[in-house]
Amino acid sequence: MSETYPLQRESEFSWRIEPTGKMRVPGIIYADEELIRAMDDKVFEQLCNVAGLPGIVQAAYAMPDAHWGYGFPIGGVAAFDADQGGVVSAGGVGFDISCGVRALRTGLTIDEIEPVKKQLADALFRQIPVGVGSTGRIHLNDKGMTAMLRGGARWAVEQGFGEMEDLQHIEEKGCMAGAVPDEVSARARKRQQDEMGTLGSGNHYLEVQRVAQIYDQRIATAFGLRENDVIVFIHCGSRGLGHQIGTEFLKYMVLAASQHGIELPDRELACAPINSELGQAYLGAMRAGINCALANRQIITHLTRQVFADVLPKADLTLLFDVSHNTCKVETHLVDGRKRKLYVHRKGATRAFGPGNPDLPETLRAIGQPVLIGGSMGTESHILAGSEKGTELSFNSACHGAGRAMSRHQATKLWKGRSVVDELADRGIIIRSPSMRGVAEEAPGAYKDVRAVVDAAEKAGLAHKVARVEPHVCIKG
DNA sequence: ATGTTC
């Protein structure tokens, strides 16, 4: 338990830090006691800093998987009102803009995969570029880049990557409105021109998984999931482009803070008023970054379909959903009984719209949004559904994954990549990666227990558990 | 996360 921060237990799964000093609103953390005990005090410090930013509404929130991040905690949620001096923060979105997870049904069961599992792993590893600085077969000139940044997954489908039907099951229908490609620098564009349709590195991956357990039969049926079904999880983001946008705007926001009359408790919290030239420029660039990530996952989906068509011609890959967990989005939420338009930052936090939300496609509106929670390599992942009361609890946000339990450096001292691969192979999990060091850094033991995180999110009321899935093939950055 | 330090 934190020595420094006075955490009041509000309920079994929620904890509160009352506003003191420069805090404008309380900090609220959703977690069980064990997760709270394991949280670094840095999370609480960063949450209190966020709670002091201009125009913040209701509370600064931390999800059960929260850990220390750049400025904002990863697993942090904060909403701002533009009319009350609210700000937008590059550090509140994160460097990998619109990093997220997409889930595909395959129409196959595990029995059909087993005989060709190795062949499938090799073909996916061959066809989907992965690793630091990986490039693909798509090369965009400046005009093509502008079209991609404006159109997102819709652009990708128009280029022949996937089906129009896919767009219904992507946040923003696959195309983030309000993107301003002109706000994306030449350098960011250059970094991305050969990187479309690539997975990247770090914790990014493509997994072939089996639905191992159904928690909610009604919702699972609505999501088209049955036990032993094979699905695919794709976890990646906006590659070099998002990182470059984040780096540049962070610098501009630090430089402009004093002009905007913003006093920063931590320069990593750099932000700009939503109603300022810089705030609007960032929002335009960040939304273009969102489109880049949506297009990237759409192209990877197309490559995945091609591989399955070769190896398992019977497969029919359909999109369950695509969620982003590093964004700032304008949404309407009920605050103190009043509907307000808010700029909701989610950094390492998944949007989790509940049943009835008008932004959900018709097929899911009565059910709630699929919430895709990727575990670490070699461990289980989870599919949840957004809850009705999520709007008042966390502006409809939930956890995004297991969260690291130790640094990458520490992990490489404890594990060797080759032995991690061998141990997972013994358990029937095939890993393919260009980097054994990357594999060591991502060893399952270097992460928290994703099930504890998901259970805490459910018990706090943020989302509802639907299914647990286990990995069989993992293509790893 | 990231052309893993412009």
Instruction: Sketch out chain A's domains with CATH numbers.
Output: 8-405+447-476 (3.90.1860.10)
Spatial contact of A41 and A5, defined as CB atoms under 8 Å apart: yes
Other Cβ atoms less than 10 A from the Cβ of A6: the count is 10
**Nucleotide nearest A435 (Cα, C1'):** B4
What is the rounded CA–CA span in Å between residue A214 and residue A229?
11
Hey, which residues does A235 pair with through a beta bridge?
Answer: A101, A205
The confidence score (pLDDT) of residue A1 equals 62
Secondary structure class of A20 (helix, strand, coil): coil
Give the DSSP letter string of A75-91: EEEEEE-GGGT-EEEHH
Nucleotide closest in space to A134 (CA vs C1'): B3
Estimate the share of chain A in helix, then strand, then coil, as percent rounded to the nearest 5.
40, 25, 35
- Known binding residue A143? Answer is no
CA distance A459 to A472: 29
Q: Can you give the distance from the CA of residue A121 to the C1' of nucleotide B6 in angstroms?
A: 38
The amino acid present at A312, given as its one-letter code, is L
Nucleotide B4, nearest residue via CA and C1': A132
Distance A239 CA to B1 C1' (A): 8
Q: Report residues of chain A scoring pLDDT below 50.
A: none
pLDDT digits (tens, 9 = 90+) for A90-102: 999 999 999 999 9
Structure tokens of A189? Answer: 């564009």
Answer left, alpha or beta for residue A133, where phi above 0 means left and psi between -120 and 50 means alpha. left
Do residues A439 and A372 make contact, with C-beta atoms less than 8 angstroms apart?
Answer: no
Report chain B positions within 7 A of protein CB atoms: 1-4
Q: Give the active site residues of A.
A: 400
Q: Which amino acid belongs to residue A48?
A: C
**Closest nucleotide to A192 by C1' from CA:** B3
Q: What is the DSSP string of A291-334?
A: HHHHHHHHHHHHHHHHHHHHH-TT---EEEEEEESEEEEEEEEE
Crossing angle for the helix pair A142-158 and A277-311, nearest 10 degrees? Answer: 50
- Spell out residues with C-beta < 7 A from strand B: A 95-96, 99, 132-133, 187, 191, 195, 200-204, 236-237, 239-240, 243-244, 435, 477
Distance in angstroms (rounded) separating the CA atoms of residues A46 and A17:
12
**Residue A339 marked as a ligand binder:** no
User: Would you state the pLDDT for residue A4?
Assistant: 81
Single out the residue of A52, A27, A26, A63 nearest to residue A452, CA to CA.
Answer: A63
Distance A101 CA to B4 C1' (A): 23
Query: What local confidence, expressed as pLDDT, does residue A5 receive?
Result: 84
pLDDT at residue number A13: 98
Q: How far apart are CA A474 and CA A416, in angstroms?
A: 17
Could you tell me the distance in Å between the CA of residue A301 and the C1' of nucleotide B2?
23
Question: Which of A3, A48, A51, A11 minimizes the C-alpha distance to A33?
Answer: A11
pLDDT at A265 (0 to 100): 87
Nearest Cα to Cα of residue A360 among A370, A351, A369: A369
Shortest CA–C1' contact from A133: which nucleotide?
B3
Indicate the length of chain A as a whole number.
477
Q: How many angstroms separate the CA of A189 from the C1' of B6?
A: 17
Check: CB of residue A117 under 8 Å from CB of residue A430: yes
Say how far A369 CA is from B6 C1', in Å: 42
Q: Is A71 annotated as a binding residue?
A: no
Directed axis angle between helix A117-127 and helix A277-311, to 10°?
Answer: 140
Residue keyed to tokens 């620098």? A185
Residues with Cβ < 8 Å from A127, sequence gap 6 or more? A303, A306, A307
Across A91-104, b (16+ Cβ under 10 Å) vs e yields: bbbbbbbbbbbbbb
Residue A409 counted as an annotated binding residue: no
Residue A472 annotated as part of some ligand binding site: no
Q: What is the pLDDT of residue A182?
A: 98
On whether A375 is known to bind a ligand per the annotation, the reply is: yes
SS (H, E, C) A85-126: CCEEEHHHHCCCCCCEEEEEEEEEEHHHHHHHHHHHHHHHHH
Q: Hey, which residues does A340 pair with through a beta bridge?
A: A333
Spatial distance between the Cα atoms of A329 and A122, rounded to a whole number of angstroms: 38
Measure CA to C1' and name the residue nearest B1: A96
Contact A348, A124 (CB under 8 A): no
Residue A5 backbone dihedrals phi, psi, to 5 degrees: -105, 125
**Other CB atoms within 10 A of residue A128 CB:** 23
Q: What phi, psi does A262 have (nearest 5°)?
A: -100, 125
